[in-house]
Amino acid sequence: MSISIGIHDLSFATGEFVLAHTALAAHNGTDIGKYHVGIGQESMSVPAADEDIVTLGAAAAAPVIARHGASRIRTVIFATESSIDQAKAAGVYVHSLLGLPSAVRVVELKQACYGATAALQFAVGLVRRDPAQQVLVIASDVSKYELDSPGEATQGAAAVAMLVGVDPALVRIEDPSGVFTADVMDFWRPNYRDEALVDGQESVNAYLQAVEGTWKDYSEQGGRSLDEFAAFCYHQPFTKMAYKAHRHLLNTCGHDTDQDRVARDLGLTTAYNRVIGNSYTASVYLGLAALLDQADDLGGRPVAFLSYGSGSVAEFFAGTVAAGYRDHLRTKEHRAAIERRTPVDYAGYRALHEQRLPTDGSDHATPAQSTGPYRLAGISGHKRIYETR
Ligand code: HMG
């Protein structure tokens, strides 16, 4: 009998501030219906000047280490597309902030929003090789588009940490997996830019094409039939995208796309993304967190995942929710992470959006704005300096 490997624990963190879409709409004269209904977003997390993917990733992972210890962790995989260094893995800073043992390998993975799913699948492979080991997967991103661009309403920031090991308390990852790659320029961020470039409509089409491609491959790999799934967790750049994707999948499979069915299949997965915004690599796993935190008992039921990363790479796979998973959730902490954010007005958000760290090697102390457990204290001689509270 094959061993059961999957997500043993899941915890997330998000930014210090929150911008309501009503404030953005008031600034740019957009009908709020476009944001609330058209793209399905209510607000977006905005990181403080002293937060970045490292502080968010460490804040997400700290509760996992506090609960399980680190003695079985021999690998940390940090997935991000808002990388802070071309050479050093952001996970090495997290390793240090969390006080993990030196006998651990740490690496960073990138393929747009898909990176965390690659990390999860690689983690499953490592655990299969040595079931005594656990892998800490961290997905952490700050989504940033140009001010006054169509993408601006789809920004956000969050990190998800997942502990992967045998006999998972939350979700067992199943073997069949459908994968898809296509060379498209729908969304990209050259090394010299802070903000992503995007061809919005092309990106939506590329995502839908990837849904079809992954499903075809998943079926050919002997995957489950569509009707078996209790729920569908999609990558959610904006929550309406999950609805578009699911309708497309149902159409592709010759199923009806009535509103009730679509809402039943994925409605619960959108609760956190709707108020956090796009968190790139973390997005699909925030969808899982929202589902597990809200659904009636899903123990023993299969859940589908569709992970899409622009450029593009995508994967469709399934997980079976573990019996008794509700005893291991962090629902209270997740809700608190969302509720503790301080609202910013449009001017405050714009100032945060425009702030940059110096690139000339000079000393710079960041303002102490964040209240989380870790902060970016500044930069000196091109080196980032982190602090634990
Ligand atoms: P836009 O041009 O501002 O918006 O860009 P639109 O005109 O397409 O309108 C959006 C929807 O709002 C439409 O509905 C309108 O009808 C509706 P749809 O036709 O799509 O069903 N609408 C209204 N609804 C109600 N009341 C109203 C109203 N007005 C209009 N008053 C776009 C939208 C998403 C393209 C833009 O925000 C963007 O470029 N975002 C960034 C790119 C993105 O998120 N793409 C998603 C797929 S790619 C992906 O997921 C990967 C990614 O996460 C990155 C990665 O992988 O690394 C982005």
SS (H, E, C) 278-309: CCHHHHHHHHHHHHHHHCCCCCCCEEEEEEEE
From start to end of the chain, where are the E strands? 5-14, 17-20, 43-46, 73-79, 105-109, 134-143, 156-166, 171-181, 187-188, 197-198, 231-234, 302-309, 313-321, 342-343, 364-365, 374-380, 383-388
List 343's β-bridge partners, or say none: 18
Ligand 1 centroid to Cα of residue 151, in Å, is 8
Is 246 considered catalytic here?
Answer: no
Half-sphere exposure of 91 (CA within 13 A, CB side): 26
Closest ligand 1 atom, CA of 114? 56
Is 228 considered catalytic here?
Answer: no
pLDDT category at 2 given cuts 50, 70, 90 is: confident
Closest ligand 1 atom, CA of 278? 53
Taking 80 as the threshold, does the pLDDT of residue 271 lie above it? yes
What is the distance between the alpha carbons of residues 238 and 288, in angstroms, rounded to a whole number? 15
Residue whose Cα lies nearest atom 14 of ligand 1: it is 38
Catalytic residue selected from 8, 95, 235, 334: 235
Is 81 considered catalytic here?
Answer: yes
pLDDT given at position 188: 97
Q: Which of 6, 162, 145, 124 is nearest to 81 (CA)?
A: 145
Beta pairing, strands 5-14 & 134-143: unpaired
Catalytic residue selected from 95, 113, 233, 334: 113
List the structure tokens of 301. 């039921």
Taking 80 as the threshold, does the pLDDT of residue 1 lie above it? no
Closest ligand 1 atom, CA of 81? 57
Ligand 1 centroid to Cα of residue 44, in Å, is 15
Catalytic residue selected from 81, 108, 174, 212: 81
pLDDT category at 30 given cuts 50, 70, 90 is: very high
Assess whether the C-beta atom of 343 lies below 6 angstroms from ligand 1.
Answer: no
Domain range for residue 253? 5-388
The predicted-structure confidence for 158-176, as pLDDT tens digits, reads as follows 999 999 999 999 999 999 9
Ligand 1 centroid to Cα of residue 156, in Å, is 15
pLDDT category at 252 given cuts 50, 70, 90 is: very high
pLDDT given at position 3: 94
The predicted-structure confidence for 42-94, as pLDDT tens digits, reads as follows 999 999 999 999 999 999 999 999 999 999 999 999 999 999 999 999 999 99
Number of folded domains that form the chain: 1
Q: CATH number of the domain that 193 lies in?
A: 3.40.47.10
The predicted-structure confidence for 129-138, as pLDDT tens digits, reads as follows 999 999 999 9
Q: What are phi and psi of 62, to 5 degrees?
A: -55, -45
Half-sphere exposure of 64 (CA within 13 A, CB side): 34
Render 229-278 in DSSP notation, one character per residue.
Answer: -SEEEE--SSHHHHHHHHHHHHHHTT----HHHHHHHHGGGGHHHHHHB-
**Mean pLDDT over residues 307-334, rounded?**
98
What is the distance between the alpha carbons of residues 192 and 250, in angstroms, rounded to a whole number? 40
Taking 90 as the threshold, does the pLDDT of residue 113 lie above it? yes
**Mean pLDDT over residues 203-224, rounded?**
98
Residue type, 243: Y
Share of the chain above pLDDT 90, in %: 98
Q: Return the best residue to mutate from 248, 310, 312 for the ligand 1 pocket (most ligand atoms within 8 A of CB).
A: 310
Q: Which of 217, 135, 124 is nearest to 176 (CA)?
A: 217
